[in-house]
Amino acid sequence: MKELDWANLSFGYMKTDYNVRCNYRDGKWGEIEVSSDEYLNLHMAATCLHYGQEAFEGMKAYRCPDGKVRVFRMDENAARLQSTCRGIMMPEVSTELFEEMVKKVVRLNQEYIPTYESGATLYIRPLLIGTSAQVGVHPASEYCFLIFVTPVGPYFKGGFASNPYVIVRDYDRAAPLGTGTYKVGGNYAASLKANAIAHEKGYASEFYLDSKEKKYVDECGAANFFGIKNNTYVTPKSTSILPSITNKSLMQIAEDLGLKVERRPVPEEELDTFEEAGACGTAAVISPISYLDDLDTGKRYNFGEKPGPWSKKLYDTLRGIQYGTIEDKHGWTTVVIE
Ligand code: PLP
Ligand code: COI
């Protein structure tokens, strides 16, 4: 294993030894190629550059205390990428090809998988781009699917700690019937300004209400929202949020732990009734929310300076399953290195 200061890693890019690639030409996917080049040789008129024909995924590999390396629910990431492909007219990557490439890139870069104790993980970034030249607005005929990995520390400084968020009304991440349910780069471009403003004002992240009426809760930047009250896990249902695999897993874990689960529109006023609230996602894991400010109304929703008991229980159970220390009764993890 590389001798790196794993415990002090930030959530950023670090060069590793290999990435894996597969090209789509003449209506079919080719062979998997292994590359050590960090760069792409891309046509200047490629559709990914001009018309945003680009999709990505995010997942992690965990070095576990039993010595094995596991990845979490990669079939779900494959299925979400397939949904994104249908959404922006790209050829689907089969679950089989996706999983084979994930396993390969993790095994090839195993020296870079952080130690268990460090709390850092190996972030896996699948990327699918339209590569053929097109000036009219049409889908490409050729694509490149690649996966790179990079060791990462916590998404928010301080790891499992509560952070403040701020509601933004002047910016939408995605339109009500737009691409919000797909993991496409354009949604993140649309979020950059709101995110920068939130950071400037001292918040961990921006918080979105629904873009049509600004009445319902959507997402917490690049993570889903959940609230806890009266022994119930509540999470928004909306046409413009990314279906988070972490959130889907937490809904099941919540049920397993004896909570009721509700996925439904969450009006902003209801925020006042939650005992605990958090952001959840692959990068964020669970990031409890300390308070949420609505600067337009002057309202502050308080959820506690420290993570609440249910957030902690959900976090510990999710991490335990991912690291193989709690029974994986739903069959969510895959051992990629024995
Ligand atoms: N919402 C957005 C906008 C995201 O970028 C992410 C990150 O992937 C999530 C939610 C969380 O999804 P997941 O739990 O599948 O990582
Ligand atoms: C993730 O949680 O995997 C994300 O995609 C969040 C962000 C790094 C884009």
In Å, how far from its chain's centre is CA 48? 20
- Angle among Cα 221, 222, 224 to the nearest 5 degrees reads 85
Confidence (pLDDT) at 299: 97
Which is nearest to 323 in space by CA: 149, 148, 122?
A: 122
Is 19-152 assigned to CATH 3.30.70.2740? no
Closest ligand (CA of 226): 1
Reduced to 3 states (helix: H, G, I; strand: E, B; else coil), residue 255 is helix
| Distance separating alpha carbons of residues 191 and 183, to the nearest angstrom | 13
With a Cβ cut-off of 6 Å, ligand 2 is lined by: 58, 222, 281-283
**Would you state the CATH architecture of domain 163-323?**
Alpha-Beta Barrel (3.20)
Distance 181 CA to ligand 2 centre (A): 14
Q: Are 283 and 234 in contact (CB under 8 A)?
A: no
Show pLDDT as tens, one digit a residue, over the chain (338 residues). 888 888 889 899 999 999 999 999 999 999 999 999 999 999 999 999 999 999 999 999 999 999 999 999 999 999 999 999 999 999 999 999 999 999 999 999 999 999 998 989 999 999 999 999 999 999 999 999 999 999 999 888 777 899 999 999 999 999 999 999 999 999 999 999 999 999 999 999 999 999 999 999 999 999 999 999 999 999 999 999 999 999 999 999 999 999 999 999 999 999 999 999 999 999 999 999 999 999 999 999 999 999 999 999 999 999 999 999 999 999 999 999 99
| Domain residue limits, the chain | 19-152, 163-323
With a Cβ cut-off of 6 Å, ligand 1 is lined by: 58, 219, 222-224, 242, 244-247, 281-282
| Distance separating alpha carbons of residues 295 and 170, to the nearest angstrom | 11
Closest ligand (CA of 220): 1
Tokens 């909306």 — which residue? Answer: 238
Looking at ligand 2, which residue's alpha carbon is closest to its atom 3? 58
Distance 171 CA to ligand 1 centre (A): 19
Q: What is the best residue among 60, 220, 282, 285 to mutate for testing ligand 2's pocket, by most ligand atoms within 8 Å of CB?
A: 282
Looking at ligand 1, which residue's alpha carbon is closest to its atom 2? 222
Q: Are 240 and 173 in contact (CB under 8 A)?
A: yes
Distance 215 CA to ligand 2 centre (A): 25
Residues 6+ apart with CB under 8 A from 174: 180, 187, 190, 211, 240
Confidence (pLDDT) at 156: 82
Which is nearest to 143 in space by CA: 244, 13, 25, 236?
A: 25
Q: What is the best residue among 74, 80, 155, 224 to mutate for testing ligand 2's pocket, by most ligand atoms within 8 Å of CB?
A: 155
Confidence (pLDDT) at 7: 87
Distance 188 CA to ligand 1 centre (A): 11
Confidence (pLDDT) at 209: 97
State the DSSP code for 62: E
In Å, how far from its chain's centre is CA 21? 21
| Distance separating alpha carbons of residues 101 and 303, to the nearest angstrom | 41
Distance 154 CA to ligand 2 centre (A): 11
User: Which residues make beta-bridge pairs with 164?
Assistant: none
Looking at ligand 2, which residue's alpha carbon is closest to its atom 7? 222
